[in-house]
Amino acid sequence: MISLSTKVEEIPKIGTVYAKRLKKFGIKTVQDLLFYFPARYDDFSEIISISRARQRLNDVVCVQGQITEIENSNSFKKFMSLTEATIQDNSGEIKIIWFNQPYLSKNLKEDDFVCLAGKISLGKDGVYFNSPSYERINEIGENEELTHTGRIVPVYSETKGVTSRWLRYVIKPLLYRFCEQIQESLPEEIIKKYKFLPIQEAVWQLHFPNSFEHADAAKARFSFEELFLIQLNVLKEKIKLMVKKAHACPMDSDLMKSFTDSLPFCLTDSQKKCAYAILKDLEKTVPMSRLLEGDVGSGKTVVATLATLNVVKCGHQVALMAPTEILAKQHFKTVSELLKDFDVKIGMLTGKDARIFKEQNTYEVSKKSFLGDLENGQIDIAIGTHSLIQKGVDFKDLALVILDEQHRFGVEQRDHLIKNKKLVPHLLSMTATPIPRTLALTAYGDLDLSLIDEMPANRKKVKTIIVEPSQRKEAYNFIDKEVKEGKGVFVIFPKIDSAATKQKELEAKGRPTSRGMSDVPITGSFVPQNYGPMSLASLAVNEVKALKEEYEKLSKEVFPDLRITMLHGKMKAPEKERIMLDFKKGEIDILLSTSVVEVGVDVPRATIMMIEGAERFGLSQLHQFRGRVGRSDMQSYCFLFTTDPSMLNRKRLKALVESNNGFELAEKDLEIRGPGSLYGTQQWGIPDMAMQGLTNIFLVEKTRAAAKELLEKDPSLEKHPQLKERLKEFEKRIHFE
């Protein structure tokens, strides 16, 4: 017997072939299919007469009529078949042409009554319907049970072999059969308080709305529900942590003063405020979970080092994890320099290296020796990559874990590091990625936030300039002059877009890249997905090839007398490290790279960031690239090379020129690009409606307050079993990164 939990392959008219295709969307059961909501709608609700339709050239219209003739033929190009038909009503007749759909002459016969929705075009023989959506009806004037035309029609995200027409055809009968079995998951008090549609009605109205107002009401309910589930998820993690115990590390004010006095610069007010909040958290027996945000170069590492020193002098150990070997080695060098006068033993462990800094000297040691010292408490601070959470790495008394640019893995990595010990280490995550407020309150809602919102006093504002094609030569001359004064240049080349590359490959082979099907969305753009995505290996090869072409151009045509080197993701870590070191020492003038340039890499001599195809990057990413320069007291520049004159890109790039504040730019990026482009729903598994809700701070705050209130009354959700079950399923799908 079929139920909501029945696998889709067991549903009549689906089977194993379609089930495999549906799994691309995460659809495995009947319930999954019913909760696969439309991406948008086409408004075919106004049915007009054929005579009126003939006057609406280039408009999308909907008509009903009777087929008077229908037949297939081949176009003069031979490879394209045409299905031509004529329909009439009391007001007149109109011709229809469908391309490459010969099966329609079997599906539709003369004398059939049909409802059609599509674009009116002008051909050599007059006006005609251009590949309209169609639907058989019993008589003209019927619109009660229409699915594909004559109503507000749902349009879904598609894949090869799964069209919106097919989805409507499958989903509608399942709604009739199973919609009433869908259990309400939102608490009754929330539904009443916010006047939400009940879940069964909301599901119906999302798929086949009576009006756009009904669709909006259903969207509002599910936007709230999905954000509410995210809030429950993160707040539950926070509550779970609150009952655990951590080392209390009392703040040593004299020690902290000694450390700040030893610095060759003064901390900014913002750094002091963040450091104080962290130190006060470390005094508690409840494990700290804090995210330290700050623009590139704002001094997050110094704040983290201050907290580290306090923990070490309380007799405990600290782990600092970085995402790459280059950054781990940079942190090792920086922290060793900052703490050289404080009698602290610092170790570094990466895939191949193990080093120890003590008594103002650095020693290479064997991994075996390093691991023994770590387990015996002979190393106070362990800095490394993911090597720190590998099997065989044990700490004697770990009290603080610091994660650089990998905050979303914090819970998992902390669990690896503590290995079931009674006391949980405090957690401090650091990020230079500006996070909009709405995202901070949802995906990062289990972390307390500290923000370093000012730069060190000696830093000059990076001058950002948009470079038009006609201004390239002038920009190149300026760059050449800067290099000859001993300064370094980063050149960022955009990553290759897999879809665009595949499109070019197909066009080069003379293969078609679009479908002439009646159920292709008539309004808006349609991106064909006839062919699978490029493999990552193929994409990487193409990226390196494109980078080499750019390298040849720069080294032979633009800057023939300068030392230019490439850096790309296919290189091994030692080679990357050697190149970065040579660039830092001034043995390389220009470093050409894709966006692989490491977050946090510090090259003070680099004063120019040149970004090719700047319009292809998001504002936050451009701002982070810009942060690679301006890391000394020298004036630095960021050149945005662009060839796209569109107003949207002008607006984005102008925003970057006008602002040096990463958090302002993150909000602007969210506003301009939308959350789907900014965060990537596929990466996180966040449903579309929750993504759309991330633009609405009031909705985010409302869901957070509702989740907090509910968990205070019912922490384990025992009184809300349906919600508990829904949350359990939801947690399997989302994964913040």
Domains 46-150 and 463-510+535-659 in one fold: no
Q: Which residues contact 581 (CB under 8 A, 6 or more apart)?
A: none
Taking only the tens place, the pLDDT of each residue in 462-479 is: 899 999 888 999 999 999
Q: Which residues contact 149 (CB under 8 A, 6 or more apart)?
A: 44, 62, 115, 116, 117, 133, 134, 135
Strand locations in 376-417 (E) = 381-384, 398-404
Model pLDDT, residue 597: 62
Taking only the tens place, the pLDDT of each residue in 303-328 is: 999 999 999 999 999 999 988 888 88
Taking only the tens place, the pLDDT of each residue in 80-117 is: 888 999 999 999 999 999 988 888 888 899 999 999 99
**What architecture (CATH level 2) is domain 253-283+299-431?**
3-Layer(aba) Sandwich (3.40)
Q: Which residues contact 716 (CB under 8 A, 6 or more apart)?
A: 724
Locate 528 and state its tokens: 């064909």
Q: What is the mean pLDDT of residues 685-695?
A: 65
- Phi then psi dihedrals of residue 368, to 5 deg: -60, -45
Alpha-carbon gap, residue 642 to 347, rounded angstroms: 45
Model pLDDT, residue 415: 65
**What architecture (CATH level 2) is domain 46-150?**
Beta Barrel (2.40)
Domain edges within the chain: 46-150, 253-283+299-431, 463-510+535-659
Contact 692, 685 (CB under 8 A): no
3-state secondary structure of 551: helix
3-state secondary structure of 540: helix
Burial of 134 (0-12, 13-18, 19+ CB in 10 A): buried
Alpha-carbon gap, residue 332 to 469, rounded angstroms: 43
Taking only the tens place, the pLDDT of each residue in 161-211 is: 899 999 999 999 999 999 999 999 999 999 999 999 999 999 999 999 999
Tell me if the domain spanning 463-510+535-659 has CATH number 3.40.50.300.
yes
Task: Quote the DSSP letter at residue 198.
Answer: P
Q: What is the mean pLDDT of residues 394-420?
A: 73
Q: What share of the chain has pLDDT > 70, as a percent?
A: 85
Model pLDDT, residue 490: 93
Q: What average pLDDT does the chain have? A: 83
Contact 382, 388 (CB under 8 A): yes
Q: 615 falls in which pLDDT band (50, 70, 90)?
A: confident
Burial of 685 (0-12, 13-18, 19+ CB in 10 A): middle
Looking at per-residue confidence, does 223 or 598 come out higher? 223
Taking only the tens place, the pLDDT of each residue in 502-537 is: 444 433 433 333 323 233 222 222 222 222 333 444
Looking at per-residue confidence, does 41 or 661 come out higher? 41
Taking only the tens place, the pLDDT of each residue in 113-152 is: 999 999 999 988 889 999 999 999 988 887 768 999 999 9
Q: What is the pTM of this model?
A: 0.71
Contact 652, 658 (CB under 8 A): no
Model pLDDT, residue 26: 84
